[in-house]
Amino acid sequence: MHFELLHQDKSSQARAGKLVTDHGEIETPIFMPVGTVGSVKGVHQQEIENEIKAQIILGNTYHLFLRPGTEVLEAAGGLHKFMNYNRPILTDSGGYQVYSMSGSRKITEEGVKFQSHVDGSYHFFTPERAIDIQRSIGADIIMAFDECTPYPCDYQYAKRSMKMTHRWLDRCFTQMNNTEPKYGYEQALFPIVQGSVYTDLRQESAKYIADTDSLGNAIGGLSVGEPAEELYAMTEVVTEILPKEKPRYLMGVGTPVNLLECVALGIDMFDCVMPTRNARHGMLFTSEGVINIKNKKWEKDFTPLDPNGTSSVDHFYTKAYLRHLLKTKESLGMQIASIHNLAFYLALMKEARARIVDGTFTEWKNKMVVKLDQRL
């Protein structure tokens, strides 16, 4: 796996690059659709490729560990073969899901004990175990096992947690070095910067992560409830320190505006459940702004879903029809809206990349962030 930095925008930190993996190349900046439990909800694999034009998707270690479990995934030859998806896959470490279940988990230096949301059974994740499971899943990009602090988080807790995340990272690297890729292709570990919203902690963590000289680096613990200004400020603090020649992945971010602003700060990779989750509730992201398709105003709007859209659903279905499907809770509505939103996110990143390459990124971005937040 290697990253090529192809263009550096002159009036921002935005970059265009190419991440080369054994499952193909990823043009950055890129958005990664979330395929929680081995499926991008409501979307066929062919649609991930042909309609959404995703180049990499994300799987959740916590969910895949519980179901179908590593035994089935190993028997299948890894997640790619299990779901018949042959492009790169990144897995989170399971940490985020585990922490989200406050009350049913316990964090110690050794790891995290938690209870399954499926059957209440108890499990214990350690940095070593998180690596082993991700090896079994067969992720091209394996994420370090970290603690994702909540927001707000007091300084002392954030500092102690960051230090533990760093110690856990060392254990992750040791485990990576002591184990082999499971399925004959490279699996790379990305470490994660923590430090909540404290500049000095973020700087300390970024330096620690930069020093690991990893194939790529991630920023975690953001998009957890903090104001957008904090998200941008922390991202900027960190990208100033992380090596330029490595891809930077901002975890769990965000709205289309968040994406563009963070591309401008030098982020290359994103993931977020927002495009699919909001799709299921009728919120559509478009190049002209946000549509709540359940609103009465779309009831008799028989124009295409999104005339500027890049996927076939944008032109095949109308706003009125999608509204009807979502109002009646028909599965097809969720399917159409998810394809639309994900295709929009991917197209937005594709255009950002083209703008970086042709030198018009900042001007375009400044116009877009106004339009994208409009309510239509």
Instruction: List, as residue ranges, the binding site for substrate.
Output: 92-96, 146, 194, 221
Instruction: Restricting to residues 59-88, name those near a copy of itself by CB under 8 A.
Output: 63, 67-68, 72, 75-77, 81-84
273 binds a copy of itself, rule: CB under 8 A: no
Give me the DSSP letters along 38-94.
Answer: SS-TT--HHHHHHTS--S-EEE-HHHHHHTT-HHHHHHHTSHHHHHT--S-EEE--S
Rg (CA), the chain: 20
Contact status: 297 vs a copy of itself (CB under 8 A): no
| Closest to 101 in 3D by CA, of 78, 79, 120, 128 | 120
Tokens 């990253």 map to which residue? 3
Report in angstroms the alpha-carbon separations of 51 from 3, 44, 314.
26, 10, 10
User: Closest approach of Cβ 342 to a copy of itself, in Å?
Assistant: 14
Query: Tokens standing for 300?
Result: 């008799």
Least gap, CB of 105 to a copy of itself (angstroms) = 21
Scanning residues 216 to 245, which ones bind a copy of itself (CB under 8 A)?
A: none
The distance of closest approach from Cβ of residue 275 to a copy of itself in the complex, given in angstroms and rounded to an integer, is 15
Catalytic residue among 140, 271, 306, 314: 271
Could you tell me which of 247, 323, 235, 251 has the C-alpha nearest to residue 91? Answer: 251
CB of 340 to a copy of itself, least distance (A): 13
| Residue 261 CA from chain centroid, whole number | 16
Which residue stretch of 161-169, 231-239, 294-302, 363-371 sits at the interface with a copy of itself (rule: CB under 8 A)? 294-302
Partners of 218 in the beta sheet?
A: 192, 249
- Is 119 one of the annotated active-site residues of the chain? no
Instruction: Report the nearest approach of a copy of itself to the CB of residue 328 (Å).
Output: 5
Does residue 299 touch a copy of itself according to CB under 8 A? yes
Stretches 206-214, 220-228, 313-321, 345-353: which one binds a copy of itself (CB under 8 A)?
313-321
Give the chain's length: 376
Count of residues engaged in binding a copy of itself, rule: CB under 8 A: 42
Backbone φ, ψ for residue 330 (5° rounding): -75, 135
Q: Across the chain, how many H-helices and E-strands are there? A: 15, 17
* Nearer residue to a copy of itself within complex by CB, 48 or 112: 48
In terms of CB distance, is 121 or 328 closer to a copy of itself? 328
Which of 196, 205, 335, 341 contacts a copy of itself by CB under 8 A? Answer: 335
Cα angle value 319/322/324 (rounded, 5°): 110
Candidates 4, 20, 24, 44: give the one binding a copy of itself (CB under 8 A). Answer: 44
Using the contact rule CB under 8 A, the part of the chain among 43-51, 107-115, 159-167, 261-269 near a copy of itself is: 43-51
Q: Is 289 helix (H, G, I), strand (E, B) or coil?
A: strand
Instruction: Summarize as ranges the residues that interact with a copy of itself (CB under 8 A).
Output: 37-46, 63, 67-68, 72, 75-77, 81-84, 299-300, 302, 312-313, 316-318, 320-321, 324-325, 327-328, 330-336
Which of the residues are catalytic? 92, 271
